[in-house]
Amino acid sequence: MGSKALSAIALVLALGWAESVRAAQPTMPSSAAVEPSAAGLWDESDPHTHIGAWFFIFEKDGVYYGAMVKMFVPTGKDPNPICTACSGDQKNLPELGLVMIKGMQRNGRHYEKGTILDPRDGSVYNAQLEVTEDGQKLKLRGYVGIPLLGQTQVWKRLPDDALAQNEVPQNLIQYWPVQPTKPDKKVKDAHPVPKPQG
């Protein structure tokens, strides 16, 4: 056998060995594919009183927002409250569909640099979100100044279809994972989604 043939065989064997070593190494998926997202439907209910709300968290232009999409109102309370204490373009808007979580920036399972609105008194707090590793719980921390000076709620994930399509507030339809059919009559969008601040 000539030296060219031996060189060719050696090259083929070396390439085959290198390919088999590469194939045997585990492939690390990207962190975004592995880590669950906060996007979706969440239950914020008090387990003792069963009074609370469902929130829908969605992404727009790389920033995350959250709006109340269903309320569980105690007997005797207004079933359609208006945010009279809110300021700016949210003043006097219905709380249902109101974008209360704004400006969240994702870093893996953590979301930072956002705010949350308390529609009861119009207060706006700094906020952080963290999705559990299994993606089934969301820790929301609202605070003033530093995260140490705050309060944490734990929300439970709901299936996206837990809310009937005809219950999705009109201002959120475009962000809903399963697009509901639009009503026949035109409804004015009372809750514009804020533009990301940059």
Read off the pTM: 0.73
pLDDT tens, position by position, 17-47: 334 434 444 444 444 457 999 999 999 987 6
- If pLDDT is split at 50, 70 and 90, which confidence band does 125 have? very high
- If pLDDT is split at 50, 70 and 90, which confidence band does 191 have? low
Q: Dihedral, CA atoms, 63, 174, 39, 147, nearest 10 degrees?
A: 40
What are the domain boundaries of the chain?
A: 36-175
Question: Which residues share a beta bridge with 155?
Answer: 138
Q: 160 in helix, strand or coil? A: helix
Q: What is the mean pLDDT of residues 64-89?
A: 93
pLDDT tens, position by position, 170-181: 999 999 986 545
Q: Is the pLDDT of residue 188 over 60?
A: no
CATH of 36-175, one of 3.40.50.300, 3.30.1370.60, 2.40.128.520, 3.90.79.10: 2.40.128.520
Q: What is the DSSP letter of 83?
A: -
> Is the separation of the CB atoms in 75 and 169 below 8 Å?
no
155 token code pair: 């929300």
> Is the separation of the CB atoms in 133 and 150 below 8 Å?
no
Lowest mean pLDDT among 26-35, 101-110, 113-122, 165-174: 26-35
Q: What is the mean pLDDT of residues 65-84?
A: 92
